Each structure stands twice: as C-alpha cells, then as structure tokens.
Structure 1
Amino acid sequence: MSISALVRPRPVHRAADLLAAYLPGSFYFSSTGGTLLADGVHSRVRATGGAQAQAVAEALRAAAAAGVPEPVVAGAVGFHPAAETGLVVPSVVRRADAPAGVRAPDAEHGTSWTVTPRPEPARYAESVRRALELIGRGDLSKVVLARGLELTADTPVWVPALLARLVRADPAAYAFAVDVTAPGDPAPRTLVGASPELLVSRRGATVVANPLAGSAPRSGDEAVDRERIARLRDSAKDLGEHAHTAAQVAEVLGKFCVDLEVPEGPEVIGTPTMWHLSTRITGRLADPADPACSALGLAEALHPTPAVCGVPEAGALAAIADLEPEERGYFAGMVGWTGLDGDGEWAVTIRSAEVCDRTVRLFAGAGIVEGSDPDAEVAETGAKFRTLLRALGAEGVA
C-alpha cells in the first residue's frame, strides 16, 4: 500500500463538533474540502522563506517515524518573503466534512469599541495617488496597497465565538484560526479570518488555484447587485488587474505541471460582502513525490501573487514598504496545512484579523492599476473590512 493511501484524510468527526471544540492555541481550518482541528505541538518547523517545503517534508517524516498518526504541518506564513512563520507539526489532528448548518452566538452589539485607522483614509488615498504616479512612469503595472484598522473593545474578544460567526456567515469560505503569539505580546495572539481566496490545494497529482482580483461591494439589493456584477464583468480596469494575477499563477504552476487548464476569462463569485473576479486553474503535477510539488511547496512558489502584491513583484514590494505605514504581519500571507503525502490546502490570509485580548488588528487591500480612483479604493477597502466588522458586531463604528 502506498504512503498516499495510508495518510489520505478520513473524516471521522462532525464539523460542528470540531468548530465547537476549538479553543485559542488550537489550529482550525475549514473549507468546502473539509474541516481540520489540530492541538498540541509535536515539533516546530524552523525555516526561512523559500526553504520551508524541504524542512516541512523532513519534519513530517520525523513525526511519522516517532509515531505521530497521519502527521500534518499546519500554520500561517506572513506576507513578506522574509516575514514571520508559525508552522508546527501538531500532536493530534481531527478531521470532519465541510461545515454546514453551523450555529454561533450573535455578535455582541453592546460592546464599546475604540477605532484607530492606520492610516487615515485621506492618507491612504494619497498613497494611491503616489502609486498611480509610479504606474504612470512605467515603474509598475500594479501594486496592492493595504490600510488597517485597530479596534479596542471594552472587554476581551472571545475568538471561538468570532470564528464560529465567520463560519456561519460563509461556510464555503476558507475559515481559520491559528496561534501567532509573539515575544512581547501581553496575551495570546490569534490570526482568525474567513478568506474567499484559495492560494493552492493539492490532492494526489491534481492541483487547483483560484486567484481573485477585481472586486465590487455587495449591496444586498438584488437589482443593484446584478448591475454591479455586470459592471465588474465589463470593467477594463478590473479585467486588466485580474489578468495580471491569473497569468502569473498559471505561469508558476506551469513549471510544475504536465497539464494545465486555464479558463479563457474570469467568472464572478460572491461572498456575503463582496463580488470578485475569479479564475479557477487546475493542473496535473509532473512529479508529486518532489517536496517542491507538495501543497506547501507550490504555495511557496506562488506567494505572494499579484492579487496581494503587484507586478513586477520586486518593485511592488518596494512600493508597499514605502507607501504603507504599518507592517502587514500575517495579512496577505498564507494559512493552511500539508500532509505527509504532500496533499494539503493553503488560503490567502485576507478577510482576517489578529486578536490579542481586547485589541483587534485588521487590514484590507486594493489593487492599484492604471485607471484606479483613490476615493474608490478607499471605499473598496472599507467594504472589505465588513466581513470582520460584521462578525465583531462593529460594522457601524468604522
């Protein structure tokens, strides 16, 4: 029997029970592909950007030799190639099917919040104008600029309830909660979110990526939303922005695949708060046994995509460092898991927040290309905050 057959994920629990069992310090990840809850730390993976796939393969083989059943590596990787990582081999992993019919407590709308924009919207709009100057000079084709909000509540934020509300609001999202506590933190810090964007998944020799770029807010009014979808499908600016991302993802996966299917154009998908242009790319790996072809290896090769960084990458990274006043941390990084057989699933850490006691730090980004309007990008990032603000019961305070 092959190793792949031995370690194929087998759901043995109910998704709702795993969500209810999550506590800060655990690792939770769910999608339409299933639910994973991991506890304890058998070992930590120490590696810098670009070398993690090999280190992960070695850590998984060591864990299997030590008797860890069906070992996985799970965690999050920050946005910047040299940023922090939080990858571990958990001691215990439980699996279930995809979440459905999730119950969750309603958001506590009586919470008192203090909100600090980082930066102020007017300063963010000015950064967009400066980015447009770089694009106009030909230095860049696209750059993604993010802005943040820091919310402080009058009582500690209970992450399990926040996670459950995110899953209930959108069971099809890539929902996650992972401990990212750093030295100096006054309390445990958790990265929590519900991302609409799959960076890459792998099952056997089959890989799937689903880049998103080009967005419009969802209104909740059916007629208005039909109009917004139609505009998004016909928007030269959004279609151009999306094309940058889809082409780069296809180019990277093409280096590892013998077959690659790329749709001719994007479709529109929706979340409870946004509409996105989406391209689902599928491929068949040339060498599934190569650690570089593991789910994490492919994720490393793809990250950061133009959907969260820009084109060209080096110039976009420099512009982001110059124009964004706050370090992104884990925002626009990646979160997920990889098993001993190389299978796994990694999502882009958007629609996410870092929660530490009473403080919630969240970001939203917008792709800046020729034709972008600074005020419209302020509005787009504001709409993207709504996923977390709604789950926190803070939608009206920012």
Structure 2
Amino acid sequence: MLCRNNYHVVGNGRIRSLGTAAEAAQAMADGSVRAVVGAIPFDVRERAALTAPETLEVHDGPWRPAPVTGAPRIRIDAMEPSLEAHRRRVADAVATLAASAGGLQKVVLARSVLLRAEEPLAAWDLASALRSADPRGSLFVTDLSPAGRAAALVGASPEVLVRKVGTRVSAQPLAGSAPRSTDAAVDRARGRALAASAKDLAEHRYVVAAIADALAPLCHRLDVPDRPELMTTPAMWHLGTPISGELRSHDLSALDVALAVHPTPAICGTPTVRARDHILATEGDRGFYSGAVGWARSGRDGGDGEWMVAIRCAEVSDDGLTARAWAGGGIVADSDPDAELVETQAKLATVLRALGVDPAADPTTDLSPT
C-alpha cells in the first residue's frame, strides 16, 4: 500500500515475484506483466521485493486506518553502530571528502536501531500510528518476502522519488535538513538558518543537478526551480525542490523513470558509484532502507505510478517481536560529526515516537534537540 494525501493504492495477491528491478521493468516492457508493486533495494543489483499483483486498486483520498489500541511496549535493544562509532564514521568521511579533490563530493551515511517488542507488533499497526502522528504525511507498507526477507517495510517518507501521470513526470528531492523544535521561535529560526545555509544549499544542488541530468534525456521539457523551498514534517525541516517535466515517450513506466534516477545523491552521494561503494564498505548491506517503495502500470497501460524514497521507515519482522529503523544524513567536506549525529536522532524520532519510544528517555540516545 502507498498512501498520499489525494489517493492511495493497494496491490492484492501475487501473480509472480520479480527477482530484480531490472527484471520487473523488462517484464512490463515485454507485456508479460501489467503492473508492479513493492520495494527496490538501495543497491539495485541486489534482490528486489517486487511482485506483479493480481489486482491494483487506486482509491481516491488517503487511507484512513482505525485507531490503534493496546500497542505493545517497545524498547531500543541495540544501536548499529554505536553513537561513537557513527561519529567516527562521519569524521572519517569528512576527512576523505576534504582530501578528495575533484573526486567524492558527498556521501550519505546512516545508522540503525534495533527495537524489541514485549508482544507482537503488527506492521499495519505501525502504519496506523505513523498516519495518526502525521495525517498529512505519505505512508507505505510493503511485503519483503519476495526478496527472501520475513518482514514488512513500513514508513512515512516525505520524499517523492518520481511520480508519472500520462507523460507528465515529477520529483521532489529533499536534501539539507534541520531538526524541528517545540519552541516556536527556535523552530522558525532553524528554518531560516537552513534556508540560508551555504553547506545545505550546496548539498541540495548536488541532488537537483543529478536528478535533472537523469531526467533530461527522457523529457522534451523539464522545469527545475533555481532555489529550493522550505518543507516541514513534524520532526524535520527540509530543503526541497519540485521538479517536473514532459516525457518524450508514452511507453515508459514510472518504474523505468524511477530506475533512471535511483539512487539519488539525497540518499547515496555523488558521484553515485564512488558514494555507493563507500557506503557499502562502511555500512555493509542496507537492504531496502534508502531504496524506493511504490507502484507502476506497464507502459502499454499508460505507465502511471509513483515511487517514494524509503526513509523514515522500519523493517518489522513477521513475528512482530523486532523492528529495525534507520536514519542517515548527507556528509560533505564541512560537515560536523556531532551535528550529523543529532540529525539522525531527529529523523529516527518519526518511527520511534509512533511506537511509543521516546528517544530522549534513554540515556544512550539523549541527543534529541529541544
């Protein structure tokens, strides 16, 4: 299921699983499947969690879940890596970037928390809690079993990778972030500071330029604003740029367009291959965190669809007793490791608070900004 403010989509049943994103795109291109739903991993060379559904239902309006009652008690069981280890990773990346004249310009590093529930947690209950916490936000729930993972991926991503309606394509990359504050004056000041931050504006330009370069060959018209907008979620300020264009071909699907731009510098870095290799060497396999979740019809059926970047998310085990949540940040040569750590904590708050876990209540995670 993918939920946006004006519609939600549900894929029901499974005609077949598709091993990789490339296989899924080819199956739609040759007409062997008419639609695809699911998740693309961060590293598209890895196994995807994509299926051809028996039915694809598109409903007007957002998903409106019933309130969750009797939620289980959940605690942070482990951090991977530790807070100090993540600081060191960021500091090492800053040193690498500073020494990489003309080479690596940005890399996105993430950390995760393992959560343990006293009683089973249902993935759909987490989705309901996320929706209740931010009724205006986007939401996704998808089964990861086609990729051999006994889990579901649930999240409230604020970032549109691509949306395609007819020949119109759009994207809204986010890069450059600041934690929200409960103090209204402090909160407004943080937004203004982000909008004026040379470091964050430079980081954002990497992302916009990469997406524009990827979309330009596919479009006969592409509109890219000169400056980003300020956007908010309950937890974060973001710099975002709404990009839109008209595709040259009617035969492309939303999945084709998503694969043309994924992974963006917003969740990987730039140049893409060097940043990806740095991430894999530093973090190991990310799985589906910072991949994409969505749906697409085949080009023969119009190719419409939408893919959200898989952030502000958790992988919930089938038995409901464990979940893993991630958060990351873009690192450039003048990044501050302590500030980057605080940013990941603020981003983790989206999932943690939906689960009733207060990051500031645990002394090992007492980094939440006021």
Cα gap change, 1:159 to 1:308, in 2 (>3 Å): same
Aligned to 1:321: 280
Answer whether contact 2:47 2:147 (CA < 8 A) is retained.
no
| 1:98 is the counterpart of 2:61 | yes
| 1:172 is the counterpart of 2:142 | no
Aligned to 1:6: none
Rounded Cα–Cα distance in structure 2 between residues aligned with 1:260 and 1:74: 27
Name the SS of the counterpart of 1:62 in structure 2: coil
Rounded Cα–Cα distance in structure 2 between residues aligned with 1:334 and 1:84: 13
1:57 to 29, 32, 35: 29
Answer whether contact 1:195 1:351 (CA < 8 A) is retained.
yes
Question: Which amino acid in structure 1 is aligned with residue 29 of structure 2?
Answer: A
Cα gap change, 1:182 to 1:56, in 2 (>3 Å): closer
Cα gap change, 1:166 to 1:107, in 2 (>3 Å): farther
Aligned to 2:202: 240
Aligned to 1:336: 294
| 1:84 is the counterpart of 2:47 | yes
Cα deviation per residue 1:163-191 (whole Å; 9 max; x = unaligned)?
11112222333311111137876xx4101
Question: Which amino acid in structure 2 is aligned with residue 57 of structure 1?
Answer: A
Answer whether contact 2:204 2:239 (CA < 8 A) is retained.
yes
Question: Which amino acid in structure 1 is aligned with residue 78 of structure 2?
Answer: T
Aligned to 2:310: 349
Displacement of 1:315 after TM fit? 1.1
1:266 to 210, 220, 228: 228
| 1:301 is the counterpart of 2:273 | no
Aligned to 2:213: 251
Name the SS of the counterpart of 1:195 in structure 2: coil
Answer whether contact 1:99 1:167 (CA < 8 A) is retained.
no
Question: Which amino acid in structure 2 is aligned with residue 345 of structure 1?
Answer: E
Give identity over the alignment, percent. 41
Rounded Cα–Cα distance in structure 2 between residues aligned with 1:201 and 1:33: 13
| 1:146 is the counterpart of 2:110 | yes
Answer whether contact 2:95 2:333 (CA < 8 A) is retained.
no
Cα deviation per residue 1:242-270 (whole Å; 9 max; x = unaligned)?
00001111111111000111111001100
Name the SS of the counterpart of 1:124 in structure 2: helix
State how many pairs are aligned: 354
Cα gap change, 1:363 to 1:164, in 2 (>3 Å): same
Cα deviation per residue 1:272-294 (whole Å; 9 max; x = unaligned)?
111100000000011122xxx31
Structure 2: unaligned runs, 5 residues or longer:
366-370
Cα deviation per residue 1:310-353 (whole Å; 9 max; x = unaligned)?
111111112112222x4211000001000132110001000011
2:171 to 194, 202, 209: 209
Cα deviation per residue 1:175-218 (whole Å; 9 max; x = unaligned)?
11111137876xx4101101000000000110001000000111
Rounded Cα–Cα distance in structure 1 between residues aligned with 2:148 and 2:260: 31
Between stretches 112-121 and 226-235, larger displacement belongs to 112-121
Rounded Cα–Cα distance in structure 1 between residues aligned with 2:108 and 2:140: 23
Question: Which amino acid in structure 2 is aligned with residue 62 of structure 1?
Answer: S
Displacement of 1:50 after TM fit? 4.2
Answer whether contact 1:106 1:165 (CA < 8 A) is retained.
no
Answer whether contact 2:48 2:147 (CA < 8 A) is retained.
no
Aligned to 2:2: 29
Rounded Cα–Cα distance in structure 2 between residues aligned with 1:302 and 1:183: 22
Cα gap change, 1:200 to 1:42, in 2 (>3 Å): same
Question: Which amino acid in structure 2 is aligned with residue 253 of structure 1?
Answer: L
Question: Which amino acid in structure 2 is aligned with residue 203 of structure 1?
Answer: V
Displacement of 1:34 after TM fit? 0.9
TM-score, reference length from structure 1: 0.85
Cα gap change, 1:376 to 1:341, in 2 (>3 Å): same
Aligned to 2:368: none
Aligned to 1:24: none
| 1:40 is the counterpart of 2:13 | yes
Rounded Cα–Cα distance in structure 1 between residues aligned with 2:343 and 2:354: 18
Answer whether contact 1:182 1:189 (CA < 8 A) is retained.
no
Between stretches 383-392 and 219-228, larger displacement belongs to 219-228
Answer whether contact 1:103 1:168 (CA < 8 A) is retained.
no
Cα deviation per residue 1:76-110 (whole Å; 9 max; x = unaligned)?
010012122011111133332232765422683x6
Aligned to 1:383: 346
Rounded Cα–Cα distance in structure 2 between residues aligned with 1:118 and 1:200: 30
Answer whether contact 1:213 1:367 (CA < 8 A) is retained.
yes
Answer whether contact 1:218 1:273 (CA < 8 A) is retained.
yes
Structure 1: unaligned runs, 5 residues or longer:
1-27, 64-70
Displacement of 1:140 after TM fit? 1.1
TM-score, reference length from structure 2: 0.91
Answer whether contact 2:177 2:200 (CA < 8 A) is retained.
yes
Cα deviation per residue 1:112-170 (whole Å; 9 max; x = unaligned)?
42420000010001001111111111231100001111111111111121111112222
Rounded Cα–Cα distance in structure 2 between residues aligned with 1:100 and 1:385: 23
